Amino acid sequence: MKTPSFFFLAEETTAERTVWPQAAFFHLYQEPNPSLLPQNTLSWAMQGPRPVVLSGPSGAGKSTLLKKLLKDYENIFGFSVSHTTRQPRPGEVNGKDYHFVTREEMQKEIDAGEFIEHAEFSGNMYGTSKGAVQAVQAQNQICVLDIDIQGVKNIKRTDLNPIYISVQPPSIDILEKRLRDRKTETEESLLKRLTAARVDLELSKEPGLFDLVIINDDLEKAYSELKEVLLEEIKKTQESRKS
């Protein structure tokens, strides 16, 4: 296995995070999956408006921004409902927020070639099925994928051709506060997510990986930046509705 360039990050961990051995980094990030080649996907380019990928560390504000977008442009954007093996949080709805499945169910569908991408994140499996994207595109909506950085790398190997946006926190300390205030994580999963966040922020520096990086400090400012980069696609989709 190739040694990831972010390996040095393990040495930066603080005392309370030394519970994560350096080897943990090898489990936090998987190299792109070679089986996810364009021929393994449908001809996405022919499927309507250009999709959007929202990525960035857990707690950076992707869902918050996405909810605003889906509310303000109800019929323009559609959310790609991922599969995950993690437990639902209070208020999360199966089939709307995620398809909550067992590891066995998900692996079976992956083996059957039903996923565009999938990854292991913080001890759980996550993935985008072809059906999730097709369901949105069938409505002629702009399909938005909320995926981690491994998903970004795997999607880059397909012909989906989305706009890639990374949503990032102003600092790791602020990210930690937001995640703690969200009250969705145990101490263990919070620390895993913070470790993954450091990896994510480091890998996101790769030139050309993202079309836009949004620093989500002031929410309204971040939202304006998001809308601005999507304006052309929004207009095109609105126009196509008139004809």
Ligand X SMILES: Nc1ncnc2c1ncn2[C@@H]1O[C@H](COP(=O)(O)OP(=O)(O)OP(=O)(O)O)[C@@H](O)[C@H]1O
Ligand Y SMILES: Nc1nc2c(ncn2[C@@H]2O[C@H](COP(=O)(O)O)[C@@H](O)[C@H]2O)c(=O)[nH]1
In the complex, the residues that contact ligand X under the rule CB under 6 A are 56, 58-64, 178, 181-182, 216, 219, 222
Give 41 or 53: the residue with its C-beta nearer to ligand X.
53
Binding piece for ligand Y, criterion CB under 6 A, among 5-13, 34-42, 64-72, 140-148:
140-148
Q: Please report how close the Cβ of residue 82 comes to ligand X at its closest, in angstroms.
A: 11
185 binds, among ligand X, ligand Y, none (CB under 5 to 8 A by kind): none
Residue 36 identity (one-letter amino acid): L
89 is catalytic: yes
User: In terms of Cα–Cα distance, which of 19, 21, 58 is closest to 184?
Assistant: 58
List Cβ neighbours of 134 (8 Å cut-off, separation of 6 or more): 42, 47
User: In terms of Cα–Cα distance, which of 58, 34, 4, 24 is closest to 202?
Assistant: 4
Give 142 or 155: the residue with its C-beta nearer to ligand Y.
155
Tell me whether strands 142-146 and 77-79 are parallel, antiparallel or unpaired.
parallel
Helices 172-182 and 187-203, packing angle to 10 deg: 140
Residue of the chain from 148, 158, 163, 168 that contacts ligand Y (CB under 6 A): 148
Give 126 or 223: the residue with its C-beta nearer to ligand Y.
126
**Residue 218, CA distances (Å) to 55, 127, 138, 170, 225 in order:** 18, 30, 34, 9, 11
180 is catalytic: no
157 is catalytic: no
Q: How far apart are CA 191 and CA 236, in angstroms?
A: 42
Q: Which residues bind ligand Y (CB under 6 A)?
A: 58, 62, 82, 86, 117, 119, 121, 126-128, 146-148, 150-151
The residues annotated as belonging to the active site are 89, 182, 193
